[in-house]
Amino acid sequence: MCGICGKLNFDEGARVEGGLLRGMLDTIRHRGPDDEGIFVASQVGLGHRRLSIIDLSAGHQPLSNEDGTVWIVFNGEIYNFQELRSWLLSKGHVFRTHSDTEVIVHLYEEHGPQCVEKLRGMFAFAIWDEREKTLFLARDRVGIKPLYYCETPKSLVFGSEIKAILADPDVPNEVAPEIIDRFLTFLYLPGEETLMRGIRKLAPGWHLLARNGRTELRQYWDLQFPARSRNISLKKAESELLDLLAETVKLHMIADVPVGVLLSGGVDSTAVLSFAAGSTDKKISSYTVGFSDSGIADERPYAKLAAETFGSRHHDITITAGDFQDFMPEYVWHMEEPVCEPPAIAMYYVSKLAKQYVKVLLSGEGGDEAFAGYSNYRNLLWLERLKKIVGPLNGAVAWGLTAANSVLHSSVLTKYAPLVKTRFPGYYYSRTSSPFRRSGNGLGSLYSSEFAASVDPERSLEPVRRLQAHVRDQKPLDAMLYIDTKTWLPDDLLIKADKMTMANSLELRVPLLDHKMLEFAASLPSDMKVHGFTTKYVAKRALANRVPRPILERRKVGFPVPYESWLRKELRSWVHDVLFDRTTTNRSYFSVPAVRELLARDEASSGYSKEIFSLVTLELWHRTFVEQRQAVVN
């Protein structure tokens, strides 16, 4: 696991300065504290920070082929590199290292840009082809590893993190205010755009070619849900799933350094631990985080049960409201994109704990997106069935449920009753929120009149609208899983996982997001994923004899963090200081009375903590990435 950066000047006579690359690398030192390397050749420069995981004594980057005509900087792990290396040796290629990085170089010599189709793993890399004067950027199929780029009239600049790109003074420091509405609609940023105008994410499953002053983007992989699911028995599906889990976890255990498991107390991470413990004769360690606050689910007893069952050396940590507040400025600096993800702060602290013992962590991230583990999927499927039954009476039923909710005060009815009279594409924007939720809690009136006039709601929804059009003929569950795999997963969950673990110079691996696992899950019938009221049905059936029953049968609680209570109580003064500081109000994005009303409503009845956390995060982001950079430049 590493950090990469670089620059290509479109003018062949314009040399990239080594000092610029060193400045870019300094911003991502945390991604690779073990080594640093720079390659400069006329119009191109490549930089690399290394966290040594495989072939510790060699594998220095940038790395080249035999004659120095192909150079690479690489971040990630290729799990089938040994198989590919054997094939490349048979083709006559000469290797100087035993690293997976060198495999990519020689594979590129054989297949050019199509080399990515042969790779199994998580990756973001850049290859400079001296003969063709071509820069080739690629990102893994799911988006486990980040890769950003900025194209200016004179150059292409790229990096594992946005801050590396901003280290180049030629990159403009301009906020894209229209993207603020997208953030506050979804509470993260789906799609390729970031809040910095001109800085984009290379989309998962895509690569970029830059040559002769032009860039070309191409998609090389997409998750396919077949029109007709596989004709497979439940027993056969369970058997294939167990075999695939055993294979992918074993591959993800490949390392020349200690490996541990991040435990959430849920089915997926427990399953990963069970296969990890069975694939090595070394002692496995495991890690979890908890909270002392009352009224919130404590993951630690379930994580401890998993650790005892599979014999891992277990460690846990407790964090407080003070820890949460203290880390917020660093949270924003490391995340770079404003994301409403309070559990990310908990992940930082548990990663910091794990760093004392290991360099690599496995997690169960992705199982819910692959096999439909969220209650949201089950509830919306039942909603669609209800709408078919009542037909033209949808409006009356919606009115009746809303009226009933005025007495019952049900969170489920609050969320789903208004959707009975709405078509599926009209509300499934992401699993976390929708414009209905936004207007329902008054966030739409939060903007100042000037800022509201500049906002185009359709522009905010465009990335997900595009995906919806792609799956409009798919079954509802397949459509939801596809959209979440393309948005919520890479742009929220995986961003969090990468940035918070790399903040501690720790590599996180996600076996359940191996692309073969996703393709297998996508091939299964919907009722093997959501069966009646049971989510993740086939996975739970397959794991029934491996995962302890209390974990298998417990209600899913996600990664609970008591931030709602903290924002209203322990952190109340701090929140007010941030949101009503003159610096904040002078931005003129929001109506100050409306923000005060939002906080008052949250203190009176709760329910608006995500919006409040998002506003705080957005303000801290401006202070970190706009004002601080301006101060440095000036």
How buried is 281 (Cβ within 10 angstroms: 0-12 exposed, 13-18 middle, 19+ buried)? exposed
Where does 2-219 sit in CATH, by number? 3.60.20.10
Mean pLDDT of 172-184: 91
- Which tokens hold the place of 571? 């952190």
| DSSP letter string, 346-402 | HHHHHHHHHTTT-SEEE--TTHHHHHT-SHHHHHHHHHHHHHHHHGGGHHHHHHHHH
User: What spatial distance separates the first Cα and last Cα of the chain, rounded to whole Å?
Assistant: 34
Retrieve residue 424's tokens: 């599926």
Predicted confidence at residue 497, as pLDDT, reads 96
Is the model more confident about 414 or about 447?
A: 447
Cα 526 to Cα 131: distance, rounded to the nearest angstrom: 49
What are 292-343's pLDDT values in tens digits? Answer: 776 677 889 999 999 999 999 999 999 999 999 999 999 999 999 999 999 9
Q: What is the pLDDT of residue 631?
A: 46
Token pair 């303000």 is found at 619
Is residue 492's pLDDT more than 50? yes
Residue at token pair 């819910």: 368
Q: What is the pTM of this model?
A: 0.94
Take residue 34 and report the two structure tokens written for it: 């073990």
pLDDT at 62 over 80: yes
Angstrom distance (rounded) from CA 196 to CA 199: 6
CA distances from 631 to 170, 617, 624 (A): 16, 20, 10
Residue 431 clears pLDDT 90, i.e. is over it: no
DSSP state of 54: S
Instruction: At 117, list the tokens.
Output: 């189709």
Instruction: For residues 183 and 74, give the distance between their C-alpha atoms in angstroms, rounded to a whole number.
Output: 30
- The DSSP-derived string for 561-580 is -THHHHHHTTTHHHHHHHHT
Domain residue ranges of the chain, discontinuous segments joined by +: 2-219, 234-372+484-553
> How confident is the model at residue 427, as a pLDDT?
74
| CA atoms of 135 and 401, how far apart (whole Å) | 57
Average pLDDT over the chain reads 91
Distance CA 146, CA 188 (A): 15
pLDDT tens per residue across span 363-401: 999 999 999 999 989 988 988 888 888 877 677 777 777
Least confident interval from 412-416, 467-471, 563-567: 412-416
Q: Over the stretch 516-564, which tens digit does the pLDDT of each residue have?
A: 999 999 999 999 999 999 999 999 999 999 999 999 998 876 667 899 9
Average pLDDT over residues 152-175: 95
Over range 267-291, report the average pLDDT: 92
State residue 470's pLDDT score: 93
Beta strand pairing call for 259-262 and 360-362: parallel
The per-residue DSSP string of 447-487 comes to B-HHHHHT--HHHHHHHHHHHHHHTTTS-HHHHHHHHHHHT
For residue 321, CA distances in Å to 300, 346, 564, 582, 601 come to: 18, 11, 11, 25, 21
- Give residue 25's pLDDT band: very low, low, confident or very high (50, 70, 90): very high
Q: Which residues are catalytic?
A: 2
**Axis-axis angle for helices 375-390, 394-408 (nearest 10):** 130
Does domain 234-372+484-553 fall into CATH 3.40.50.620? yes
Q: How far apart are CA 555 and CA 536, in angstroms?
A: 12
Pairing state between β 63-64 and 44-50: unpaired
